Amino acid sequence: MNRRHSHLPLGMLVMLSWRNIWRHRRRTLITLSSIAIGFALAVLMIGLNDGAHNSMIRNAIKLGEGHLTVQPRGYIEAPANHKYLTDGTTLQEKIGSLDVAGRIEPRISLQILASTASNSVGAGLEGLSPQGDQRADLLRPQLVDGTWIEPGDQRGILIGDGMAGKLKAKIGSKVVLMAGKQGGDSQAQLGRVRGIFDSRVDELDDYLILSDIQLARRFLEGEGADPALQPITRFALFLDDPDSLPEWKAELKAAVENDQVVVLDWREMMPQLVQFIMVDDAGNYIFLVLILIMVVFGILNTVLMSVLERTREFGLLRALGISRYHLLWLVFCESLLLSLLAVGIGWIVAGAVHLWFASHGIDMAALMGGSTEMMGTFMDPVIYTELSGERVFQLTLLIFAATLGSGIYPAIKASRVTPVEALRT
């Protein structure tokens, strides 16, 4: 037999599908608007979530050890005062020669015991470099009592209000800073409280002691370091462009890494924070699932209803000689057009909502009752929605996948219609 097949040009396919989806104008509009509104809401919540997380990360990096950290190998696994970089001068020259676009801050971090006549508490002593320190910039405005330490101040320390309470220390109080040495002995330095800060992050207010780097370095000397070589615990690097992290990390690794020295990024330095955000992102997935359900049911309901209403028409088309396959495409194309419209309208609404909140922000501090601290970091009080290209892609893809999924069943159902049964009504 001369095999002549049925044809269905794309133009005809699209024209028929388009007209079919507008057969029930109201039903289609309700479906589209519910998908669009749900989508906009989801984009807003996801944007807010991403904005909050990114804010936490930015602040954690500022309060922490920078985007990139150069420190002794093995320190992160088991921090100890005797693990330090013996030759700070040479390392600083090497790092400096890379011309990193950003700030390089030498730091000394020590675990100590802080004691007054009233009490003793475990503390982290951080030596601030006179070259500048991000943490100083952040905490200086949070000073609630006394003055900031002057560069070269050999005794001055700054403590949080939490620690001040525990030690019953005031401005001018003497605090003994004691540290264990590697051999089992201990060493001590005398500090004097110059100022008290209140960062609103309890982890800092209860634990952190800031001093000039000179005071902190004396403990390293006690461990046997040569002060002439500017020994330090680490360098913290703050990049002007956080997106350039992978490139700088690679360059830095090539320049300084060896058996004693390691280069870590903020994710490696703060694995708990990374984990927290991952878990918290589950909130996002709830919204993703919500849109998914809306899209699936919206399209399934609309298209399936219209398929069931048109059984007779499909029977007619099949009798006239349209192929099963073309009928399947015809109905599938209706779902596809519907979802294209839904995504289009959805993005217009969602985009507008996002742009508004990206420039006006939402006062999270008010919503969360004042404190926005979490995981040793904090959220900016006003959060602006953030929407990465990756998210846009992900959300769009998700809706299309959902459409494909929900469009298949009605299409198959339509293609299974047998003319004889359909026409016998």
Partner 1 sequence: MTTIDNDSAGKTAMALLTLQGVDKIYRQGELEVRALQEIDLTVQEGEFAALVGPSGSGKTTLLNIIGGLDAPSHGSIQLNGTSITTLKEAELSDFRLFQLGFVFQAYNLVPVLSALENVELVMVLQGRDVRERRERAEHYLELVGLEKVMQRRPAALSGGQQQRVAVARALAAGPRLVLADEPTANLDSENATALLDIMHRLSHEEKTTFIFSTHDRRVMERAERIITLRDGKIVSDKHIGQESHEQMA
Q: Which residues make up the interface to partner 1 (CB under 8 A)?
A: 1, 3-9, 12, 16, 19-20, 23, 312-313, 316-324, 326, 419-420, 423-424
- Cα dihedral 26, 27, 33, 35 in deg (nearest 10): -170
Residue 44 vs 417, nearer CB to partner 1:
417
Instruction: Identify residue 366 by its one-letter amino acid code.
Output: A
Contact yes or no for 95/101 (Cβ under 8 A): no
Residue 23 vs 174, nearer CB to partner 1:
23
Taking the complex as a whole, how short is the minimal distance between the CB of residue 36 and partner 1, in angstroms? 24
Taking the complex as a whole, how short is the minimal distance between the CB of residue 295 and partner 1, in angstroms? 25
Q: Can you tell me whether residue 393 is helix, strand or coil?
A: helix
Taking the complex as a whole, how short is the minimal distance between the CB of residue 331 and partner 1, in angstroms? 13
Taking the complex as a whole, how short is the minimal distance between the CB of residue 409 and partner 1, in angstroms? 21
Taking the complex as a whole, how short is the minimal distance between the CB of residue 321 and partner 1, in angstroms? 3
Residue 264 vs 317, nearer CB to partner 1:
317
Residue 53 vs 310, nearer CB to partner 1:
310
Taking the complex as a whole, how short is the minimal distance between the CB of residue 391 and partner 1, in angstroms? 38
Residue 135 vs 326, nearer CB to partner 1:
326
Estimate the crossing angle of helix 389-415 against helix 324-360, to 10 degrees: 150
Residue 287 vs 314, nearer CB to partner 1:
314
Residue 278 vs 420, nearer CB to partner 1:
420
Taking the complex as a whole, how short is the minimal distance between the CB of residue 311 and partner 1, in angstroms? 11
Backbone angles phi, psi at 118, to 5 degrees: -85, -35
Nearest to 53 by CA among 414, 383, 397: 383
Contact yes or no for 196/164 (Cβ under 8 A): yes
Nearest to 292 by CA among 405, 393, 387, 385: 405
Helix, strand counts (H, E) of the chain: 16, 14
For residues 395 and 400, give the distance between their C-alpha atoms in angstroms, rounded to a whole number. Answer: 9
DSSP string, 80-126: -TT--BS-HHHHHHHHHTT--SEEEEEEEEEEEEEE-SS-EEEEEEE
Nearest to 209 by CA among 247, 261, 156: 156
For residues 339 and 321, give the distance between their C-alpha atoms in angstroms, rounded to a whole number. Answer: 29
Q: How far is CA 95 from CA 108, 245, 252, in A?
A: 17, 15, 7
Residue 19 vs 360, nearer CB to partner 1:
19
Residue 28 vs 109, nearer CB to partner 1:
28
Neighbouring C-beta atoms of residue 60, cutoff 10 Å: 22
Nearest to 391 by CA among 243, 287, 244: 287
Residue 68 vs 322, nearer CB to partner 1:
322
Taking the complex as a whole, how short is the minimal distance between the CB of residue 339 and partner 1, in angstroms? 20
Taking the complex as a whole, how short is the minimal distance between the CB of residue 342 and partner 1, in angstroms? 21
Taking the complex as a whole, how short is the minimal distance between the CB of residue 307 and partner 1, in angstroms? 14
Question: How many whole angstroms from its chain centre is CA 260?
Answer: 31
Q: How far is CA 14 from CA 6, 9, 17, 195, 312, in A?
A: 17, 9, 5, 73, 21
